[in-house]
Structure 1
Amino acid sequence: MAEHVVVTTTTDSEDSARELAARAVEAKLGACAQIVPITSVYRWEGEVQTEPEWRVEIKTAADRVAPLVSLLEDVHSYDTPEVIATPIEGGSTEYLRWVIAETR
């Protein structure tokens, strides 16, 4: 597994996205998070939905993924929140060291 990971979730408001991002960083489960407004198209309860959402991308260390996922699932307002982890395969060595340092 990669040493660095981006954990992504979505939510229904900018305020909720800011709260999720702040909780992750304050708990040292993420080094930083970006919030991006998006439009999501998905099937929910048999119907296709199109809704505005906010994507939260949290950069973290691989050993912080499980507790970060647990935190997001515990505090998220959705019944079934999207929470996925994508390995970071490369990048700025200095930045990736900073990610590790900020999650200690």
Structure 2
Amino acid sequence: MATEIVIAQTTIDDEEKAKALASGAVKARLAACAHIDQPFTAVYWWKDNIETAQEWRISYKTPVDRLPELQAWVHQEHSYEVPEWITLPVTGGSEAYLSWVVEESTPQ
């Protein structure tokens, strides 16, 4: 597999919003799939205060060349002022799965 695959992650404070961010990106073929993790507690600095919130993590699997468009789409659709956006390289995996990620992230 010559195409580099990444996992891009964001979080959001509502399950329905998480589902919309996940399904919207997949429908637009910006990612082959997205996983939504069950709610967890986030503790973070925000505007000089320590905040605590319940959040859902969305993990997108996409080729690196689709990443800029996916990031722009997520930031446009996201309700946070500064949404989390982290990418992790995929350093290995099943050739069949990685090929599927590329195929399903290709615009039709």
When the two structures are superposed, what TM-score results if normalisation uses the length of structure 2? Answer: 0.92
Instruction: Please give the residue correspondences for 1:62-81 in structure 2 after superposition, counting only pairs within 5 Å.
Output: 62-81=64-83
- Residue 30 of structure 1 corresponds to which residue in structure 2? 31
Alignment partners' CA distance in 2, 1:51 and 1:42: 9
What is the root-mean-square deviation of aligned Cα atoms in Å? 0.9
Structure 1 runs of 4+ with >3 Å offset:
none
1:92 deviates by 1.1
When the two structures are superposed, what TM-score results if normalisation uses the length of structure 1? Answer: 0.96
* Unmatched 5+ stretches in structure 2: none
- Residue 93 of structure 1 corresponds to which residue in structure 2? 95
Q: Deviations over 1:22-78 (max 9, x none)?
A: 111011000000001221110001111111100000000110000000000001000
Specify which structure has the higher proportion of strand. Answer: 1
- Residue 9 of structure 1 corresponds to which residue in structure 2? 10
- Residue 59 of structure 2 corresponds to which residue in structure 1? 57
State the identity as a percent.
45
1:85 deviates by 1.2
Alignment partners' CA distance in 2, 1:56 and 1:38: 12
| Partner SS state of residue 42, structure 2 | strand
| Partner SS state of residue 60, structure 1 | strand
| Partner SS state of residue 29, structure 2 | coil
Alignment partners' CA distance in 2, 1:24 and 1:80: 19
* Unmatched 5+ stretches in structure 1: none
Amino acid at match of 1:86: L
